[in-house]
Structure 1
Amino acid sequence: MTTGRQGGNAAPQRQLPLDLRLRDASRFASFYPGGNRLARDAVEALSIGTGITEPQILLHGPAGLGKTHLLQAACHQGHERGEPVAYLPLAELVTAPPLAVLDGLERARLVALDDLDAVVGQGDWDEALFGLLNRLRDGGCRVLLAAAHAPDGLGSRLPDLTSRLAWGPVFRMQAPEEEDLKRILAQRAVLRGLELPEAVAEYLLRHYRRDLVALLELLDRLDLAALAEQRRLTIPFVRDQLARF
């Protein structure tokens, strides 16, 4: 699971159904929306249960576009409001019995199911998810879903599950443009207490993969290298580090 705060030892009335870990940095304030502002605003509204007409949202798109960030931000928000919440990274749970994984989730007020594409169409997962979504809706639970594809592209063998997954708004996450990438890198640098000159950010975009996940991982590595060598992030330093990586 992702690193961060553990919720497994909370008081019984707020007990999380799994050993929940959320990244501390996954907050709405640290999410740069770019072309995903509508999706971000909808997820934030659902996380507090105000201004929504449907209690379920599904986000889809390739990895690295912020789906997990938004699901975890919503869980942070709900948990800090004192609500029982659950975040499940299903790609890490696909080999477990689905009924055991999903049991009791209807007791939560907010449930976030990540990586649906890893389990839909696999074994008994379709039936288990179908039953869970019905129970969550009947119980008035708010639901966040994330997958690589839209509901009709997930390959479910159960048509009713496909329709349940599209019960609420479905958002296709948009890839960031170059200016978005620069702003995201700058925002991550600020969170790490790191100075990232714009010229260095532009150098990274010219000489490294324009994949957000890879760029953020690179920035973390550069930060550690700069700390170890007591150096600032300059173009010569970054060029030397890229040659070593």
Structure 2
Amino acid sequence: MSSSSPRQLSLGVQLKDDATFENFYAVDGQLNRQVVMALQQQLQPFGEQFIYLSGIQGAGLSHLLQAACHFAGEQGRSAQYLPLEELVSADPAALLDGLEILDLVCLDGLHWVVGRPDWERALFVFFNTMRDTGRRVVMAAAQGPRELKVSLPDLQSRLNWGLVFQVQPLDDESKRKALQMRAKARGIELTDEVAQYILHRAPRSSHDLFKTLHRLDDASLAEQRRLTIPFVKQTLGF
């Protein structure tokens, strides 16, 4: 995070260190790769000012928004990640006021706040201000902008201003490869056989799979053992 964005700390919002574009499994030619490319290009002069992402839980929306903030920081740009589920009880006008000084603002979980008049009015002002100052916004929600239950028509129109993507969840083969990619980044050797064993027995969402990998990594470091099926079985109680 760029030092020119003090709000990140004042809000108590922390970015996950491993929430990077490099850690997001996206294959060339697939839609999710287009999403990553659009986010990486967003801060360029030709980049899209507004990007809207939707997807089911576990598709990686929060990961992508945090990755965009990390990426901005690496470029020396200021950015703010706002997890709206955690901030829903905040005063929205005060929370969003002044964010136009930042190069990028990422709003995660719009579905948590739409339908509330105070939030909708504050978001309407926020989007107008960000547009007028040429700043960038990434927003994410469980539904697309047309399916979101927005009460304020003017806000509904602003959600459709830029690029809209539906982030695709990983199929089983992609989950295996993503798990192995994360393992490699941690310096862990995860064979196809062991990865398949984990996939068949651990919770299926990508988020839960990566939490399982983190747990296995900690255990293997503590016991100085490789990830084998017997070790995974012992550690996870399968």
Alignment TM-score > 0.5, same fold: yes
In the alignment, which residue of structure 2 is the partner of 1:190?
Answer: 184
Over residues 55-112 of structure 1, what are the superposed CA-to-partner deviations in whole Å (9 max), with x where a residue is unaligned?
Answer: 1100001222121222122212222322222111111110111011111111111111
Check whether the contact 1:17–1:105 (CA below 8 A) recurs between aligned residues.
no
- TM-aligned CA deviation for residue 196 of structure 1: 0.9
Check whether the contact 1:16–1:85 (CA below 8 A) recurs between aligned residues.
no
- TM-aligned CA deviation for residue 183 of structure 1: 1.2
Unaligned runs of 5+ in 2: none
> d(CA) in 2 for partners of 1:243 and 1:31?
28
In the alignment, which residue of structure 1 is the partner of 2:210?
Answer: 216
Letter in 1 for 2:16: R
> d(CA) in 1 for partners of 2:178 and 2:70?
21
Check whether the contact 1:57–1:169 (CA below 8 A) recurs between aligned residues.
yes
2:97 is the counterpart of 1:103? yes
In the alignment, which residue of structure 1 is the partner of 2:18?
Answer: 25
2:5 is the counterpart of 1:15? yes
Residue-pair matches, total: 232
In the alignment, which residue of structure 2 is the partner of 1:44?
Answer: 40
- TM-aligned CA deviation for residue 123 of structure 1: 4.3
Q: CA RMSD in A?
A: 1.7
Over residues 97-144 of structure 1, what are the superposed CA-to-partner deviations in whole Å (9 max), with x where a residue is unaligned?
Answer: 101111111111111111111111124100100110000000000111
- TM-aligned CA deviation for residue 17 of structure 1: 2.8
Unaligned runs of 5+ in 1: none
2:167 is the counterpart of 1:173? yes
Identity across matched positions, percent: 46
2:237 is the counterpart of 1:228? no
What secondary structure, in the 3-state scheme, does the structure 2 residue paired with 1:174 have?
A: coil
> d(CA) in 2 for partners of 1:113 and 1:231?
41
TM-score, structure 2 normalization: 0.91
Check whether the contact 1:16–1:84 (CA below 8 A) recurs between aligned residues.
no
Over residues 11-35 of structure 1, what are the superposed CA-to-partner deviations in whole Å (9 max), with x where a residue is unaligned?
Answer: xxx1333424222222222221144
Check whether the contact 1:16–1:86 (CA below 8 A) recurs between aligned residues.
no
Check whether the contact 2:5–2:102 (CA below 8 A) recurs between aligned residues.
no
